[in-house]
A and B are shown apart, each in its own frame.
Chain A
Amino acid sequence: MTPEIGHFALVAALLFSLTQVIAPLWGLYRQQPTLLALTAPAQIAACIAVLVAFISLIWAFITSDFSFDLVVQYSHSQKPLIYKIAGTWGNHEGSLLLWVLILVSFGTLFCLTAHRLDTALFGLILAVQGMISSAFLAFSLLTSNPFRRLETPPIEGLGLNPVLQDIGLALHPPTLYLGYVGLSIAFAFAVAGLIQGRIDQRWARALRPWVTAAWSALTAGITLGSWWAYYELGWGGWWFWDPVENVSLMPWLIAPALLQSVRVVEVRGQFKSWTVLLAIMGFSLSLLGTFIVRSGLLTSVHSFAADPTRGIFILAILLLAVGLPLVLYAWRGPRLVTVGDFSFNSREMALIVNNGILVIATAIVLLGTFYPLGLEMFNGARITVGPPYFDATFNPIMAVGLLGMGIAGTLAWGHGGLPHAKKTLLGALLMGLVCIFVGLGFGISIAALAGLGVLGWLASGIVIDIALRVKPWQKAAGARLMRLGLPIWGMWLAHFGTAVFLAGVLGENLLQTEAIVRAQPAQEVNLGDDTVVFKGIRQTQGPNYQSLSAELQLYDAEGQEIALLYPERRFYPAENQTTTEAAIHTTWLGDYYAVLGDGDPQRGYTLRLYHKPVVAWIWGGAGLMVLGGLVSLVSRHRIPKA
């Protein structure tokens, strides 16, 4: 394999993508069905070409082909195979190619599944997809070519950052990209709808599974990233309000708002222009996420100056991808206006409130993420706003949103709630108050009390809703259970996952115990009620690192052994870098988390030990959310025939 094969495939993909843009637009303008019919084949051809390019790049990483500049920069012949493969997207150029691959694959999947849509809409959607992939392919070819060849290949590569040699992180970008790119389809639907000046139920029904899938993938991707930060960074935290995290959170907040407003378009034929605007916002934020993280703009404005062509290209794409649809929206949006017909306690009203909350929460995150960047541009100061800002703004507004989630199942379309709405509301209120009352007994902070109240309300609201629908105490409960259908179970799962997540967050905040000590082997350390015995330290040799690990024996209050922990420090000679590998003993009820700090035989070693009750629920809850998304995805989404 030579770099030229991949390079050539990439150029071919760009030509196919351009065809995919021109054929439907020209075909629709000139009323030529033969031109229009070229659209889908062009999309599929572009997909195959990008696949060829991507496989040739992976192959170069697997075989450590050092005639590729990229392989030299980011790989090393002694790296384990799985991380050689993951190294393909562990860098700017490769991850961009992966992004394009997912984009054209989704386009192809759309071609193969959406043939029931009318041909004009079908063609327009693919044309918009083609514009996005053309822009990205041009960006890749002109500024970030992964197939740059080295005239004199070196003998060994420069390796990959050892912190990034990790399975969670290898899977994190692809999953996150699935989510980002999934929103591109919603964006294409929105732009196509604006061009046609018409949006109907079939449009909404064809769109909804894409948004569900994108949101599920975003949830999974963000969860993987958070889990990675938890066990790899050795810091014991799981969310840092880091700009890189925040940019992935924003589309994640917009996606459920979009999902619900698409549902209103589908069922009631309302909220059309708002839905279109949300779809544009969702993908704009995804683009921001992809670009900002990869360009390094967030770390500092000055990383932008390091490669101005790349930066200007990025800004141009952002400007066009957000600006043009908004021009279109200002022009065509008024055509989509419908007259609302629903009462104050209807599901529509609840969704308006919920959408408002999610959009405000997104704006809060946007402000907290970009305010420091803005400040740096104006006066060169590099500062952080950090968790205190988000605790004071984001958490309260999301708490209000969660209250709505607890009773979401009991509201009906149009006018009035379902018969059991009042009982559910009262039950949830009661449980919320009970939780707050119990919390008062422990003297915890007001924010934590509010969290507990919301948790009680949310979890009991869902349980009562299910119970009152199924009525297990009456006859024929089985039949009622079966009639409920998968979509509502998907909603309950996702909402209940949120409750589990919240329980994990509160537990981790309120119940955590920790000990930071400098200890000699054979010393005992108290960690809450438990005891940790520092048995000893030993040195070993890994495949591409040297390791120093401590043996810790963990006993509970009764003196029963719980687990053996081996926290580790690794030194990677090729990169001259040290990493900490936390040792974690996970159970349903909590994690024991141990980190080995620096030290020597004379002065002892620094140990950081944590007991984190129910922390695993944070990711378990997120897993339930993803499951909820998948359940509602497999329930059949049929597009009625035109």
Chain B
Amino acid sequence: MRFIFLLPLLIFGLLAGITGFALFSTLSGTRQVEQLPSVLVERPAPDTRQPNLTEGAPEVDLSHYRGQIVLVNFFASWCVPCRAEIPMLQSLAKDLTVIGIAYKDKVQDTKAFLTRFGNPYHVVGVDLDGRTGITWGVYGIPETYLIDAQGNVLFRHAGVVDKVLIENTLRPLWETAG
């Protein structure tokens, strides 16, 4: 009986402990922040054929892009960080083919989002039920994959693509691959 009354304290203590440890070790720099592991890295990207966001346009098929380096970016209109990412993707679009996958998002909303914040994508595939997200192992969005000319995943990044990531990680990767 008494144990039940200890339970709230134990749960709180556990949460506080984990949070405190993660926060302070991250901030003090003792623990290096690492990227999420992905089983896909250095393996072929999953076969992906999606309906095109533009009605009547042909299906988006990833295998059509063999022979060039492609950036696949999962995004949605309801995702606030995705807005911040648009200018970065626009600058990347000068060097790479950027393909967008609209993840669990209504077609109308995606279109409104792209008119409002700009459209960096070569083409946008629609993943309405998030099934493609599952195949790729998407944690949450935004999430970005760099794919080489042979169709293998070179790199996966969960979170917003920023300048540092582009210059320090992405650019060296695609320059050695290309």
Q: Which residues of A contact B (CB under 8 A)?
A: 240-242, 273, 277, 280, 301, 304-305, 308, 315, 319, 322-323, 326-327, 329-331, 333-334, 337, 371-372, 374-388, 514, 516, 597, 606, 608
A326 touches B112 (CB 8 A): no
B104 nearest CB across to chain A (Å): 4
Report if B51 contacts A (CB, 8 A): no
B5 touches A377 (CB 8 A): no
The interface centre, meaning the residue of A327, A376, A381 with most chain B CB atoms within 10 A of its CB, is A381
B35 contacts which of A380, A383, A386 (Cβ < 8 Å)?
A380
- Given the known interface contacts A322-B12, A382-B160, A383-B143, the answer about A388 and B130 at a Cβ–Cβ threshold of 8 Å is yes
- List 10 contacting pairs A-B, 8 Å CB cutoff, sorted by A: A304-B27, A330-B8, A334-B1, A371-B140, A372-B140, A375-B158, A381-B35, A384-B80, A386-B79, A388-B130
B111 contacts which of A379, A386, A516 (Cβ < 8 Å)?
A516
A379 touches B35 (CB 8 A): yes
- Given the known interface contacts A304-B23, A333-B5, A381-B159, the answer about A323 and B80 at a Cβ–Cβ threshold of 8 Å is no
Query: Closest residue to B84 on the A side, CB-wise?
Result: A382
Report if B176 contacts A (CB, 8 A): no
B143 touches A273 (CB 8 A): no
B140 touches A383 (CB 8 A): yes
A379 touches B140 (CB 8 A): no
Q: Known pairs A384-B81, A386-B104. 6 more at Cβ < 8 A?
A: A327-B9, A329-B9, A379-B35, A380-B34, A388-B78, A608-B112
| A308 CA / B116 CA spacing, docked (Å) | 36
Query: Closest residue to A388 on the B side, CB-wise?
Result: B104
Which residues of A have CB within 8 Å of B92? none
B23 contacts which of A331, A377, A514 (Cβ < 8 Å)?
A377
Report if B46 contacts A (CB, 8 A): no
Query: Closest residue to A323 on the B side, CB-wise?
Result: B12
Report if B168 contacts A (CB, 8 A): no
Report if B19 contacts A (CB, 8 A): yes
Q: Type the 1/0 row for B1-40, where 1 means its CB is closer than 8 Å to any CB of A.
A: 1100110110011001011101100110000011110000
Which residues of A have CB within 8 Å of B126? none
Classify the interface of chain A: helix, strand, loop or mixed: helix
Q: Which 8 residue pairs of A and B lie closest in terms of their CB atoms, listed nearest first?
A: A383-B140, A380-B33, A381-B158, A381-B159, A333-B5, A382-B159, A377-B22, A326-B9
| A385 CA / B160 CA spacing, docked (Å) | 14
A383 contacts which of B1, B18, B130, B159 (Cβ < 8 Å)?
B159
A375 contacts which of B1, B19, B139 (Cβ < 8 Å)?
B139
| A277 CA / B111 CA spacing, docked (Å) | 46
The interface centre, meaning the residue of A308, A331, A333 with most chain B CB atoms within 10 A of its CB, is A333
Scan residues 136-168 of chain B and give those whose CB is less than 8 A from a CB of chain A.
139-143, 157-160
Which residues of A have CB within 8 Å of B18? 374
- Given the known interface contacts A319-B16, A380-B159, the answer about A374 and B8 at a Cβ–Cβ threshold of 8 Å is no
B128 nearest CB across to chain A (Å): 10
Which residues of B have CB within 8 Å of A388? 78, 104, 130
Which residues of B have CB within 8 Å of A372? 140
| A388 CA / B139 CA spacing, docked (Å) | 13
- Given the known interface contacts A273-B5, A326-B9, A329-B5, the answer about A379 and B33 at a Cβ–Cβ threshold of 8 Å is yes
Classify the interface of chain B: helix, strand, loop or mixed: helix
B26 touches A301 (CB 8 A): yes
| A304 CA / B27 CA spacing, docked (Å) | 9
A379 touches B9 (CB 8 A): no
A352 nearest CB across to chain B (Å): 15
Which residues of B have CB within 8 Å of A326? 8-9, 12
A111 nearest CB across to chain B (Å): 30
A384 contacts which of B8, B79, B130 (Cβ < 8 Å)?
B79
A308 touches B140 (CB 8 A): no
A359 nearest CB across to chain B (Å): 11
B141 touches A386 (CB 8 A): yes
Which residues of A have CB within 8 Å of B141? 383-384, 386
| A377 CA / B13 CA spacing, docked (Å) | 18
B36 touches A387 (CB 8 A): no
A384 touches B140 (CB 8 A): yes
A379 touches B1 (CB 8 A): no
A527 nearest CB across to chain B (Å): 13
Which residues of A have CB within 8 Å of B9? 323, 326-327, 329-330
| A22 CA / B7 CA spacing, docked (Å) | 31
B118 nearest CB across to chain A (Å): 11
A337 touches B115 (CB 8 A): no
Query: Closest residue to B26 on the A side, CB-wise?
Result: A377
B140 touches A375 (CB 8 A): yes
| A240 CA / B23 CA spacing, docked (Å) | 27
Report if B76 contacts A (CB, 8 A): yes
- Given the known interface contacts A301-B23, A326-B9, A516-B112, the answer about A337 and B1 at a Cβ–Cβ threshold of 8 Å is yes
Query: Closest residue to A327 on the B side, CB-wise?
Result: B9
Which residues of A have CB within 8 Å of B81? 382-384
- Given the known interface contacts A377-B23, A382-B81, A384-B141, the answer about A597 and B115 at a Cβ–Cβ threshold of 8 Å is yes
Q: Type the 1/0 row for B66-83, where 1 means its CB is closer than 8 Å to any CB of A.
A: 000000000010111110
A277 touches B8 (CB 8 A): yes
Which residues of A have CB within 8 Å of B76? 386
Which residues of B have CB within 8 Å of A315? 20, 23
Which residues of B have CB within 8 Å of A514? 108, 112
Which residues of B have CB within 8 Å of A323? 9, 12-13, 16
- Given the known interface contacts A334-B2, A381-B35, the answer about A386 and B78 at a Cβ–Cβ threshold of 8 Å is yes
Which residues of A have CB within 8 Å of B8? 277, 280, 326, 329-330
| A126 CA / B13 CA spacing, docked (Å) | 27
B36 contacts which of A240, A308, A381, A608 (Cβ < 8 Å)?
A381
Which residues of A have CB within 8 Å of B112? 514, 516, 608
Query: Closest residue to B11 on the A side, CB-wise?
Result: A326
A330 touches B79 (CB 8 A): no
B37 nearest CB across to chain A (Å): 9
| A459 CA / B13 CA spacing, docked (Å) | 43
The interface centre, meaning the residue of B8, B36, B111, B130 with most chain A CB atoms within 10 A of its CB, is B8
A444 nearest CB across to chain B (Å): 14
B173 nearest CB across to chain A (Å): 18
Which residues of B have CB within 8 Å of A381? 35-36, 139-140, 157-159
Which residues of A have CB within 8 Å of B1? 334, 337
| A381 CA / B81 CA spacing, docked (Å) | 11
Which residues of A have CB within 8 Å of B116? 597
